[in-house]
Amino acid sequence: MRWMKPPWNLRLVRVSLNGALRSGVGGAAFIDVEAATIRELLSRLIERYPDMQAQLDRGIAVAIDGVVFRDDWSQPLPLGAEVVLMPRIEGG
Amino acid sequence: MTHDNSYTGQKFKVIGNRFKRPDGVDKVTGRARYGADASAPGQLVGLVLRSPHAHAKIKKIDTSKAEKLPGVKAIITSDDLPDLTGGARDMANILENCMARGRALYDGHAVAAVAAVDNQTARKALKLINVSYQVLPHVTDVDEALKEDAPVIHDWVYTGGLDPKPTTPSNAANRTQMGHGDVDAGFAAADVIVEHTYKTEQTHQGYIEPHACLATVSPDGSAEMWVTTQGPFTYRTVCATLLGLDIAKLKVTSSEIGGGFGGKTHVWMEPLALALSRKTNRPVKMVMTRDEVFRASGPTASTSIDVKIGAKKNGKITAATLEMRYQGGAFPGPWAMLACMTGFACYNIENQRSVGWDVIVNRPKVAAYRAPSAPMAAFAVESALDIVAERIGMDAVDLRLKNVAKEGTQAPYGPIYGPIGIEAALKAVKKHPHYKARLQKGQGRGVACGFWFNIGGQTCVDLNIGTDGTVNLAVGTVDVGGARSSMAMIAAEELGISYDDVRVSVADTASLGHNDTTEGSRGTFSSGMATIFAARDAINVLRERAAKMLDVPVEDVVWQDGEARATGKGHGNLPVLSLKDIAGKSANTGGPIAGHNEVVADGAGMGFAAHICDVEVDNETGLATVARYTVVQDAGKAIHPDYVEGQFQGAAAQGIGWALNEEYVYGADGRLQNAGFLDYRIPVCSDLPFIDTQILEIPNPNHPYGIRGVGETSIVPPLGAVNNAIASAAGVRMKHAPMSPIRVLDALDEASVESQVSAG
């Protein structure tokens, strides 16, 4: 789902979710969250969807306009950015 | 402190050269010290007693006879390892994997450990430990584990990702779904639909150096561990958590590493060595045998994968789906989820869905193996794509190019790609002399693509300038693929000095801040970034010192080509100061000169590769032999091209072994039948041709030098490339890897029978 400008509030960021993360928000493919940084986004998510805590504990990453952030929660969420919540990746 | 990690297009003098490796002399003379090469006064030998059963209740462990054996200093069981994990399931699983807790969950699962004065005594002691087992039903096959009549291994595992939540336990730990678009509409629009099921067998990373450590715990609670590992800081955290030690009091030093490939990102017997040392108050050394490495460390998953691809006659893919089952051994893992994220990552498919089932079986706990989970999904996808190409009469590379992912394509896991290199790799394949070369009689050629994310993570380095101007750089990522050389080059590039003036060491956990494990192809990307910033930090100090020596404002001092120059009005006659000049006067200008950096290296650039493979198939024996092999991969920027090519070649060699011969073979009793390199045969030099490489450099916009990780991606394409080459050579399309002689022969026989039936 590409980002579409939310008409009712310019501070909202549309966040896409994939895989098991959707179960934490009742199956939704995307949600709108008022947040200026990744840290704010995660705080709002847990406030609204307590089930997300378990998902966050398992490890998540946030992609902003295609750049994946696994750790830096101070990253700003620019208005109109494509934001995707995804599982945290490790490797071999 | 936040740094700008943007790619700048900086011109290089040092980067891109092929310097001699700094660890070469030590390694060829035998002076390099690996995990088993450490010793300490009074050290004991630690050995582990392992379950001979695939699944059994441990009714009683009687250690009384063993304890009486002279020379035995301690015996531990799970009773000596209380659960201190506080309900953290993943950590509790690690603890249970290190030592069985009431049940043996796979053949080779540790049930007790002994510390004795020597190996012979420890072995005798193991034989004197009497374990009473009640054998339980077992399951080792991923598909069998999902059947209704399969024994359910854990009563606490309820399939995650299902709605509504299940009410009964299952061997399916999790269901994951990724994708986008409308696959039903996509398949309805297809002219051709290809649908097959593929299987891959379990393989091991096959690192030559077994797991080994030397652990020393003092009565005051401080401890040290020398160990072969990809992640000394992670080992420290995990071991301290499991044993109730203070992190700061446990110093972990990583030895030289004789291969890891993901298998040394997890702890196995290291907590046992610490527990034995704590109990005996003496150093304890443990070295796994090869049998133990196979049975009780972490191989990759075996899989069963359904793939379906629909396409128009012009080659445009209209829809694609994957339904994948990955076994993670005796504990839940993320392996099928990773496959969902990677399976279609090389392609721009508007309508796609990947479903993954993480499955629990009675096998060892699966660990990461170089681009974990991606090779198996790619085996299915790349094999099926060639069948699609054949059905519509299109060149297989052109089909891939028609659907290739580009900047702006949505990845299977959601984000939109930035600049990526798979289209360039496929175009390079088409132009490569290998692709244009005429095949010999009996040979066939296959092409396949591969993807891996790459990661960054927490990283820090210390750069210290000696009084003679030479430089010591301490890094916290382990040198698994040339990090010491590459980091020396980066420091030299930034400081403007010679490569030979920089010496890099891998620091222990007491000497440097936390560094994430060296995994996910992150070493050069992350420590490279930290080294750049640390060198620039040192340059700022050098400028300040030069300003004092020249008696000018620091703002007037610039750093160019390894020298400090005063610029501006009135400074024309001032001398130029080299790094050595400034370092030599450091005592009089403020003391030691150093640069530091701590960074979270986010923004790793995705890795993509395309491979060309030629094989010959012996129709009498079914033996497929690789005749020629070429790797084309995007490195972003190759710091030391020799090492980059080595990573490409090593990953391809492991992928070819997986494709042709390597597999765990389990008997009906659930026991591993081939736990040794004689019966589990990895490819050796005489099995392979020289693997040709072509490095592409499409800069990662999120690294000052444009670096992308290179270590993992090229293990992904070989299974598909080999299969497509076998199909071209022998006319049979294999559905089961490894494509060992017996399987190829069976396929040839089957094709022969079908041919006779249709002719008759």
Q: What is the pLDDT of residue A6?
A: 53
Contact list in A for residue B517 (CB cut-off 8 A) is 90
Interchain CB contact of B163 with A (< 8 Å): yes
Rounded to an integer, what distance in angstroms lies between the CA atom of residue B446 and that of residue B526?
Answer: 34
Whether residue B230 is predicted with pLDDT greater than 60 in this model: the reply is yes
Q: What is the C-alpha separation between B677 and B142, in angstroms, rounded?
A: 24
Task: Give the pLDDT confidence score for residue A8 in this predicted structure.
Answer: 53
Give chain A positions within 8 Å (CB) of B521: 91
Among the partner-chain residues B519, B521, B602, the one whose CB lies closest to the CB of A71 is: B602
By the CB < 8 Å criterion, does A9 face chain B? no
Q: Check CB contact under 8 Å for A66 and B265.
A: no
At A90, list the tokens: 């490790």
- Tens of pLDDT along B481-536? 999 999 999 999 999 999 999 999 999 999 999 999 999 999 999 999 999 999 99
- Mark yes or no for CB contact B337/A19 under 8 Å: yes
Element (H, E) at B224: strand B223-227
Among chain A residues, the shortest Cα distance to B518 is held by: A92
Residue A90: its pLDDT value, please? 87
Helical ranges in B299-348 per DSSP H? 335-342
Average pLDDT over residues B631-654: 98
Strands (E), A1-92: 12-17, 30-34, 60-64, 67-69, 83-87
| Strands ordered across the beta sheet of B443-452 | B443-452, B607-617, B624-634, B691-696
B565 to chain A nearest CA, in Å?
37
- Spell out which residues of chain B touch residue A67, defining contact as CB-CB under 8 Å: 418, 602-603, 702
For range B570-575, the mean pLDDT: 92
Task: Determine whether the interchain pair A92/B265 forms a contact, defined as Cβ–Cβ distance below 8 Å.
Answer: yes
Distances (CA, A) of B197 to B145, B324, B379: 17, 9, 11
In this prediction, residue A4 carries a pLDDT of 58
> What is each CA distance from B684 to B339, B473, B480, B690, B723, in whole angstroms?
28, 35, 20, 12, 20
Please give, rounded to a whole number of angstroms, the shortest distance from the CA of B165 to a CA of chain A.
Answer: 10
Looking at CA atoms only, how far is residue A47 from chain B in angstroms? 21
Interface of B with A in 668-727 (CB under 8 A): 702, 712
Hey, is the C-beta of A84 within 8 angstroms of any chain B C-beta? yes
Exposure string for B659-691, b = 16+ CB within 10 A, e = fewer: bbbbbbebeeebbbebbeeeebbbbeeeebeeb
Give the separation between CA B533 and CA A60, rounded to whole angstroms: 27
Chain B window 527-586: which residues touch A at a Cβ cutoff of 8 Å? none
Q: For residue B261, which of B720, B694, B657, B725 has the smallest C-alpha distance? A: B657
- At B138-175, the pLDDT tens digits run 999 999 999 999 999 999 999 998 888 899 999 999 99
Q: What is the mean pLDDT of residues B84-110?
A: 97
Distance (Å, whole) CA B707 – CA B698? 9
Chain A neighbors of B600, CB-CB under 8 A:
70-72
B205 in contact with chain A, both atoms CB, cutoff 8 A: yes
Asked whether the beta carbons of B174 and B160 are under 8 A apart, the reply is: yes
Closest CA relative to residue B706, chosen from B634, B657, B613: B634
B115 lies within 8 A of chain A by CB: no
- Tens digits of residue pLDDT in B610-621: 999 999 999 999
Lowest-pLDDT range of A57-66, B283-292, B380-389, B615-624: A57-66
Per-residue confidence (pLDDT) for residue B755, from 0 to 100: 80
**Cβ contact (<8 Å) for A91 and B371?**
yes
**B337 Cβ under 8 Å from any chain A Cβ:** yes
Q: What is the pLDDT at residue B564?
A: 98
| Contact across the interface for B341 and A27, Cβ inside 8 Å | no
Tell me the mean pLDDT in the region B68-90: 96
Residue B194 clears pLDDT 60, i.e. is over it: yes
Nearest chain A Cα distance for residue B600, angstroms: 6
Q: At what angle do helices B641-660 and B374-392 cross, to 10 degrees?
A: 80
- CB contact B513 to A (< 8 Å): no
Asked if residues B512 and B462 have their Cβ atoms less than 8 Å apart, the reply is: yes
Task: Compare CB distances from B414 to A16, A70, A74 and report the shortest one's residue.
Answer: A16
A-B C-beta contacts closer than 8 Å: 114
For testing contact with chain A, the best of B89, B350, B455 (most A CBs within 10 A): B455
Nearest chain B alpha carbon to A22 = B161
CA distance A83 to chain B (A): 7
Distance between CA atoms of residues B252 and B133, nearest Å: 36
Cβ count within 10 A of residue B543: 19
A23–B contact, CB cutoff 8 A: yes
Average pLDDT, chain A: 86
Mean pLDDT of the region B81-103: 96
- Whether residue A68 lies within 8 A of chain B, CB to CB, comes out as yes
pLDDT above 50 for B268: yes
Tens digits of residue pLDDT in B314-324:
999 999 999 99
Q: What is the pLDDT of residues B283-311, one digit of tens each?
A: 999 999 999 999 999 999 999 999 999 99
The reported pTM is: 0.96
Residue of B176, B407, B703 to mutate, testing the A interface (most A Cβ within 10 Å of its Cβ)? B176
Asked if B752 contacts B476 with a C-beta cutoff of 8 angstroms, the reply is no
Closest-CA residue of chain A to B417: A66
Higher pLDDT, B282 or B757: B282
Which of B335, B344, B416 has the most A C-beta neighbours within 10 Å, making it the best mutation to test the interface with A?
Answer: B416
Biggest alpha carbon–alpha carbon distance for chain B: 100
Judge: A66–B369 Cβ closer than 8 Å, yes or no: no
d(CA B693, CA B689): 12
Residue A23 Cα, gap to closest chain B Cα (Å): 6
* Surface of B (233-262) touching A: CB under 8 A: 261-262
Average pLDDT over residues B104-113: 98
Best to test chain A binding among B357, B417, B525, B600 (most A CBs inside 10 Å): B600
Cα distance between residue B426 and residue B435, in whole Å: 11
ipTM more than 0.90? no
Distance CA B636, CA B701 (A): 9
For residues B687 and B690, give the distance between their C-alpha atoms in angstroms, rounded to a whole number.
Answer: 10
Q: What is the pLDDT of residues B1-41, one digit of tens each?
A: 578 999 999 999 999 999 999 999 999 999 999 999 999 99
Instruction: Name the token pair of B253.
Output: 């030093």
Amino acid A1: pLDDT: 47
